[in-house]
Amino acid sequence: MCGRYTLRKGLSSIAEKLGDYALESAPEDIAEEVPRYNIAPTQKNLVLRKSFENPELLQIARLRWGLVPSWSKTPQTQTPMINARSETVAEKPSFRAAFQRRRCLVPADGFYEWKKHKGANLPYFFSLADESVFLMAGIWETWVGEHNQQFDSFTILTTHANALMAKYHERMPVILDGDRIAQWLETDVPKLSPADQHELFAPVESDHMVCRPANPIVNNNRSDGPACLEAPASNPLSQLDLGL
């Protein structure tokens, strides 16, 4: 799964990953976005979606993490829907409409996962080997309340873990690159063959990723800053699990 992630780099680094797409001009508050080291559910975070004005551009917006279906009676769900399984997202009532019509990309440059050791949950940080920005597959939805309250929210798609990730969790985010970005944003995914869908949602190869211990302060969603990535020297799994 993906329950916390980072985005330490700016819009220029995000734009480099978009291939043939370009970004709309960003609002001033987004253009000046500060580095984030511990993005948590229910917070508003950057998402890229097709522009409402020009379908050749991607709009960058700040949406709440944790999808709330349009038909929900309240702006909160019993369990925060921060992830959607890629294998069943087209069938689940909570995700089906958004999957068909409202797909997006969620920029990040790392994410956290936890592993238990002697009763303690120890965090680990996963990133691409070069620590560059990557784009996670997402879907978004608009919720409107009885008194015209309105907000947009999103969730991140997950897939089965690669060999590296499987040591820590059975799931990981769907990370898109190259032609898969356009395939996700443009095509009618349900009409793809099972083999093509499997390829679209395949996990990133293990040799393209790295993992290292992180600081337990990330357990607190109010913690945010470079210290989140400073692993305590006392982490008992830091040498064993990383094969060092």
Q: Tokens for 97?
A: 């409409």
User: What range does the domain containing 10 cover?
Assistant: 5-229
Taking residues 215-228, what's their average pLDDT? 94
Q: Give domain status of residue 236, yes or no.
A: no
β-pair partners for 61? 47
Categorize the per-residue pLDDT at 190 as very low, low, confident or very high, splitting at 50, 70 and 90.
confident
Backbone angles phi, psi at 194, to 5 degrees: -55, -35
The C-alpha atoms of residue 112 and residue 219 are separated, in whole angstroms, by 10
Q: Is the pLDDT of residue 244 over 80?
A: no
Residue 177 in this model has a pLDDT that exceeds 90 = yes
Secondary structure letter of residue 120 according to DSSP: E
Spatial contact of 212 and 233, defined as CB atoms under 8 Å apart: no
In a domain, 237, yes or no: no
Selecting among 113, 141, 211, 228, the annotated active-site residue is 113
In degrees and rounded to multiples of 5, residue 196 shows phi and psi of: -70, -40
pLDDT tens for each residue of 28-73: 888 778 899 999 999 999 999 999 888 889 999 999 999 999 988 8
d(Cα 201, Cα 212) in Å, to the nearest integer?
Answer: 25
Q: In this structure, what are the phi and psi dihedrals at residue 240, rounded to the nearest 5 degrees?
A: -65, -55
Catalytic annotation present for 2: yes
User: Is 74 within the bounds of a domain?
Assistant: yes
∠ CA 39-42-45, rounded to 5°: 50
Provide mean pLDDT across the span 136-165.
93
In the prediction, which pLDDT does 240 show? 44
Total number of domains constituting the chain: 1
Q: Which one, of 42, 239, 12, 52, lies nearest residue 151 by Cα?
A: 42
The pTM for the full model equals 0.92
CB-count burial class (<10 Å; 0-12, 13-18, 19+) for 108: buried
In a domain, 140, yes or no: yes
Model pLDDT, residue 236: 53
Asked if residue 235 is part of any domain, the answer here is no
Q: Give me the pLDDT at residue 20, please.
A: 85
142 beta partners = 152
Average pLDDT over residues 89-110: 94
pLDDT range class, residue 242, cuts 50, 70, 90? very low
CATH number at residue 165: 3.90.1680.10
Position 234 in a domain: no
User: Looking at the domain assignment, is residue 104 inside a domain?
Assistant: yes
d(Cα 223, Cα 46) in Å, to the nearest integer? 18
